[in-house]
Amino acid sequence: DSQDVKIFFARKGRIRRYKHGVNLKLCDLQAEYLTEELEISKNSIIIDVGANVGEFSKFWSNKGHRVVAFEPDLVEFKVLELNNPNDTNYNVGLWDTNDVLRFYLNNDSGDSSLLPESQNGDFIELEVKKLDDDNSFRLGVEVSASYSNLRFSVINIFSTK
């Protein structure tokens, strides 16, 4: 029931995403990412890389999963913390190396990215970290960027520190 779930967002233009209710939007997002095809046990930890305001995280957190979310944009990160206060949230960009990269901004759609394909010209320089080089992020996961569909995949969740 959409009365039970609330979502905060940072940009007014995003309100139209919820015209049919928050729960429906959260379920639609899962269908878009094909997560209904996955068998996820109750003990699994959900990793949300590029969490934006935390819609994906909120869905899984509401199902009782522990969620660890990473969002590099400070504005979206602050809203992520409002939407998912009981999750573990990090304001950092993840990549396969420690570096400073261009972060292409597309905040109205929630599609900001480190990947330059199909992005507008607006960008900021962003420090990114390799997941396993910082003990605070040591989760036993591998992160890989997929240039074909502009999404991150998180595989091989082993354990938490």
pLDDT at res. 87: 92
Check residues 83 and 103 and name the one with the higher pLDDT: 83
pLDDT at res. 97: 82
Which whole number is the average pLDDT over 46-61? 89
Name the 3-class secondary structure at 144. Answer: strand
Cα distance between residue 27 and residue 11, in whole Å: 21
Check residues 72 and 96 and name the one with the higher pLDDT: 72
Residue 81 clears pLDDT 90, i.e. is over it: yes
Taking alpha carbons only, the member of 114, 50, 102 closest to residue 76 is 50
Top-confidence range, 36-45, 52-61, 120-129: 52-61
The answer to whether residues 151 and 88 touch, using CB atoms and an 8 Å cutoff, is: no
78 falls in which pLDDT band (50, 70, 90)? very high
The answer to whether residues 29 and 59 touch, using CB atoms and an 8 Å cutoff, is: yes
Name the 3-class secondary structure at 141. Answer: coil
2 falls in which pLDDT band (50, 70, 90)? very low
Which whole number is the average pLDDT over 43-69? 88
pLDDT at res. 34: 83
The answer to whether residues 55 and 29 touch, using CB atoms and an 8 Å cutoff, is: yes
The answer to whether residues 145 and 115 touch, using CB atoms and an 8 Å cutoff, is: yes
Which two three-digit tokens encode residue 58?
Answer: 């909120």
pLDDT at res. 155: 35
